[in-house]
Structure 1
Amino acid sequence: MKNIMLSFCLIVMMMFSLHAQSDVASLDPYADESVAERDARMEWFREARFGMFIHWGVYAVPAGIYKDEKVGKYGEWIMSDGSIPMADYQRFAKEFNPVKYDPEAWVKLAKETGMKYIVITSKHHDGFALFDSKVSEWDIMDASPYGKDLIAPLAEACEKHGIKLGLYYSQAQDWNQGGSARGKDKKGKWDPAQKHDMDDYIKNIAVPQVKEILTQYQPAILWWDTPRGMNKERAEQFLPLLKLAPGIIHNNRLGGDYEGDISTPEQYIPGTGLPGDWESCMTMNKTWGFKSYDHNWKSAETLLQNLVDIASKGGNFLLNVGPTAEGIIPEPSVERLKNIGAWMEKNSESIYGTNASPCRTPEWGRITTRTKGENTTLYLNVFDWTENGTIFIPITNKVESCNLLTDKSKKFETETDDLGTTITLVGEAPDSISTVIVLKLNGTPIVSDADKIKPNEDGIILLPAQKSIINNVIGSHVIYNKEKDCIDQWSNERATLDWDFTVDKAGTYTVFMRIASEEECAIELIVGGQTVQAKLDATNGFKTFKNVNVGEIKIDKAGNYSIHLKPKHKEWKAIILQSVKISPK
């Protein structure tokens, strides 16, 4: 009898499990997707590598200023950052009249830049919809004098010019219609008129609006954002809607532990890329939505090299523009996009459809990869061209050919040995930002350990700042300063650093950090499973560098290792880091 009951219980459990799996599959159209099916669905995205982000809405009217004061970090967050009452903010919609909006010109600009897709904010956190929503009057049709759908003509222009359309939708936050919200006090609301019934908002505003945009525009991408308060039950209400746009790609910001199709690092480039498909989104200046006084524009050189860097790590680049309330993309944005487009017109082969570099990031630039059959093409994007100098890659394959991408008749001499391949540069750099050399190899890349950091003759391992892997997260922007040869102003405690290195023999080693700092702080370093916690003494300011003893580590055997530097939470202060030294006792 016991065996019968046990068998019955097992059957019930199995049926329950199968039913639960069936429920998930019925909600998520990609739950049972095969690898081949996923590859087919993601093919265009992996080929594209480059897209345009557009943050546009009512917030372009105040343009970062409220009651004659500059407000907040980002233009599109002005209502929250300024704790603007709903009635005041909604009056801005009466001034949102983009009579100079030319969607075809926007699409042509994206195409001229070399971008393959556009993602626009159909509704941001303020809840204002750029389309004709039947479930809300807080939209372009009912609340503004413009009175015309802004998404529909953009969708038509995208289809006409062969550009994929993506729609951003803030599913969780809605500061005017009941979604989650964050004021200065972080308690969720700043105006008694704000209702905070998120479940009602999800059911009656967000889900119906997502259904509207998927049905009306059939976007290729659905770009969720800020899953604040999005538990599994709330997130699952959106999943079945994906079936309305077959083949649609959605990101990892829905919430409820759903990973989506793409990871979305914001305002930074992961040091070694990310597993799976991913896309770095970045601004051209400091803001996403238009701010009249933000003139902190990144150079075209920086933006272009960011694109190359991201492609070299297997990701896509989603570069933002923030149009004005009239519907004009700011001229500094246009100028930079056209400069990028001029480079892409000649060198896009090194970006579209390429894969990540087979070896670590070189000092002189970046590498993208294309595999065809048994052979491999490496695109060497040379940022730092040394006249009549050389560049080195730790690839030992036989070289079939080596030439300039923009002029195949211009050949480069190569020499390959057991450590790798050296390419001899000739004359001045053909391109001042990134010169692309095409290196064709016989077979798949064979990577030597030549690019690993090794001990010198005294057994000392020197880890320079230039060879660090910077692991930024959202909100942190720690960078390697090429001119100063250092990790400059490492102030954000969420950013971490890594190096890979080789040890010749076992033993006890002392770790030193060469830093400059104004205040004492604390750090953790992790090597071979060991964690060392240490105080970093101040060095009398950022112009005074000192070697600070961080502690000792034990290496059990010779081999390859990595070191991970992690600021201690709430004990971290800004430092400048030149190098890390691991010295045998």
Structure 2
Amino acid sequence: MKHIIWVVVVLLALGQPMKAQHYQPTSENLENRRQFAKDRFGIFIHWGIYALYAQGEWYLQDARLDRYEYAKAANAFYPHAFNAAQWIETFKEAGARYVTFTTRHHVGFSMWDTQQSDYNIMFTPYGKDVVRQLADACHKQNFPLHIYYSHIDWTRDDYPIGRTGLHTGKDPKQANWAGYFDFMNRQLTELLTQYGAIRAVWFDGWWDQERAKPTFNWQLPEQYALIHRLQPGCLIGNNHHQTPYEGEDIQLFERDVPGENKAGLSGQAVSRLPLETCETMNGMWGYKVADTNYKSTEELIRLLVRTAGKGANLLLNIGPQPDGNLPATAVTRLKEMGTWLKSHGVTIYDTEAGGWGDGEKVVSTRQGKTIYVHVLDATLDSLHIDCTASVQRITDFANNAPMRFTQRNGKLTCKLPPQTEVDRIVVLHLK
């Protein structure tokens, strides 16, 4: 019965005229935006058959492997230790408020029971729908699910070759954008009609065709319209490193907090949409056995603070092992972040950018008339900030003790307590 219903839904969705109109988000969509902006902390999961190679998610491209040889990994993929409910419990204990999962990365392998290609999780020794298990666990634990979906494919001939996937054995003469676009939309329709509420779709790969002449037409308005028609409340974000296009509901930044471009991927202007920064816990996105360069817990907490200080969410990435376990070091980091957030989360969740501080040494978040000033530089013994707002009192977040301060000519100064934690938090109570 479900297959009959699905066919009807697909035909109705794909049979509608695809010409997009001016985008007007629904009330449900606007509410999801508001909740998303309150969450401040999510977990990113990069997981697929590339985990078996233990060389990261770009191994097919970087090692110039033949796509058919690479695909043989599917014959050995058996993540016997995967436990979706346990994953979600771990993320919740860490203080995260949602998860973004790679349903299909650039290698083209689908992690659900798709009817559009046999290159999927059901045709492995494991033979179970990973997205189904994850969606069920998320819905049961009231934990929002976001899905990552790659716009590019290094294995399918119908996807036009861009600046990546040049050496995987694809035949450029077989490129067929219309067919590939239809394939993607049918897969997205599956994900948005068979797995319950999906709070966001996270696209990646626009940059693969940025050198195309004339400009490559991704047909984003039509695809965005399809998504919003299937799930009006679903948020759309695109990791294209550009100013948001019409139809997008959140703005994404890669490896940089909004307004910075240290990694060279986030030079776009910051919009008024809800913001999200994604970053890896170590070096790679997908599992790489030699990548033990994990950021310390202190570094991760400071990154979370700096991101919140920009009014953005932190999407922190983990690459699970091929057996389905989360790396032990990653779990330890998550537990320690969760401990910190239990006592300090009020300064992060449901806040907006505070507007005080330089964003590096001093960062601030705000809830109404309460300003949380995070002092991240341990060498500072006093706080000096520009502040024209009328401050009623200042307290030490650690013990709620009052702090002496002076405020003259738009300058606020107070002596700081010794640093005993990751950061010192000074609370400004405005009149």
Going from structure 1 to structure 2, the CA distance change for 1:41 and 1:397 (only over 3 Å counts) comes to: same
Matched, 1:118 2:109: no
Match of 1:264 in 2: 252
> Which residue pairs with 1:131 in the alignment?
112
Question: Tell me, what secondary structure is at the counterpart of 2:89?
Answer: helix
Residue 306 of structure 2 contacts residue 360 of structure 2 at CA under 8 Å; is this kept in 1?
no
- Is contact 1:269-1:310 (8 Å) kept? yes
TM-score, normalised to structure 2's length? Answer: 0.84
**Alpha carbons of structure 1 residues 49 and 402: separation in structure 2 relative to 1, 3 Å:** same
Q: 2:87 is aligned with what amino acid?
A: W
TM-score normalised to structure 1 length: 0.63
Cα distance, 1:212–1:39 mapped onto 2, change above 3 Å = closer
Matched, 1:347 2:344: yes
Q: Secondary structure of the residue that 2:122 maps to in structure 1?
A: coil
**1:222 corresponds to:** 201
Instruction: From 28, 41, 46, give the equivalent of 1:50.
Output: 41
Contact 2:148–2:203 under 8 Å retained in 1? yes
Aligned equivalents of 2:346, 2:391: Cα separation in 1: 19
User: In the TM superposition, what are the counterparts of 1:191-202 in structure 2 within 5 Å?
Assistant: 191-192=169-170, 195-202=174-181
Give the distance between the partners of 2:150 and 2:360, measured in 1 at CA. 40
Letter in 2 for 1:219: I
Which residue in 1 is equivalent to 2:372? 379
User: Which residue does the alignment assign to 1:510?
Assistant: none
- Consecutive unaligned residues of structure 2, counting only runs of 5 or more, are 1-16, 210-215, 261-268
Alpha carbons 1:182, 1:189 under 8 Å: kept: no
Runs of 4+ more than 6 Å apart? none
SS at match of 2:395: strand
Correspondence list, 1:91-240, <5 A: 91-142=72-123, 144-176=124-156, 178-181=158-161, 188-192=166-170, 195-203=174-182, 205-217=183-195, 218-227=197-206, 228-229=208-209, 231-233=217-219, 236-240=222-226
Q: How many pairs were matched up?
A: 396
**Whole-Å separation in 2 of the counterparts to 1:253 and 1:318:** 13
CA distance in 1, matches of 2:116, 2:367: 48
Query: Map of 1:549-568 to 2, 5 A cutoff?
Result: none
Give the CA deviation at 1:152: 1.3
> CA contact under 8 A between 2:158 and 2:180: conserved in structure 1?
yes
Partner of 1:328: 325
Give the aligned partner of residue 427 of structure 2.
438
1:40 match: secondary structure: helix
**2:378 is the counterpart of 1:370:** no
- Which residue pairs with 2:407 in the alignment? 416
Contact 2:30–2:233 (Cα < 8 Å) also in 1: no
- For 2:265, the equivalent position in structure 1 comes to none
Residues 323/180 of structure 1: CA separation in 2 closer, same or farther (3 Å cut):
farther
Task: Give, in angstroms, the shift of residue 242 of structure 1.
Answer: 2.5
SS of alignment partner, residue 98 of structure 1? coil
Distance 2:120 2:257 in 1: 34
1:424-573 → structure 2 map (5 Å cutoff): 424-426=415-417, 428-431=418-421, 433-442=422-431
Instruction: State the structure with more CA Rg.
Output: 1
Structure 1: how far apart are the matches of 2:29 and 2:184? Answer: 27
More strand by share: 1
Between the aligned partners of 1:38 and 1:102, the Cα distance in structure 2 is 30
* 1:284-323 correspondence to structure 2 within 5 Å: 284-323=281-320
SS in 1 for 2:354: coil
1:248 paired with 2:227, answer no
Is the alpha carbon distance of 1:114 and 1:385 closer, same or farther for their aligned partners in structure 2, counting shifts above 3 Å?
Answer: same
AA matched with 1:47:
K
Structure 1: how far apart are the matches of 2:142 and 2:29?
A: 22
- 1:391 — aligned with what? 383
> C-alpha distance in 2, partners of 1:234/1:391?
47
Greater fraction helix: 2
Distance change in 2, residues 1:181/1:113 (3 Å): farther
Structure 2 vs 1, CA of residues 91 and 181 (structure 1 numbering), >3 Å: closer, same or farther?
same
In structure 2, relative to structure 1, the CA distance for the partners of 1:330 and 1:231 (3 Å cut) is same
Structure 1 vs Structure 2 CA RMSD: 2.6
Q: Any idea what the Cα deviations from partners look like across 1:141-195, whole Å, max 9, x if unmatched?
A: 12x1000000112112212222110000112334246324457xx5845315684
- Once the two structures are TM-superposed, the CA of residue 297 in structure 1 deviates from its matched residue by 1.4
Structure 1 unmatched runs, 5+ = 1-22, 65-74, 443-585
1:153 counterpart SS class: helix
CA gap of 1:385–1:414, structure 2 versus 1, over 3 A, is: farther
1:238 positional shift:
4.9
Residue pair 1:207, 1:238 contacting (<8 A) in 2 also: no
- Relative distance call for 1:151 and 1:308 in structure 2 (3 A) is same
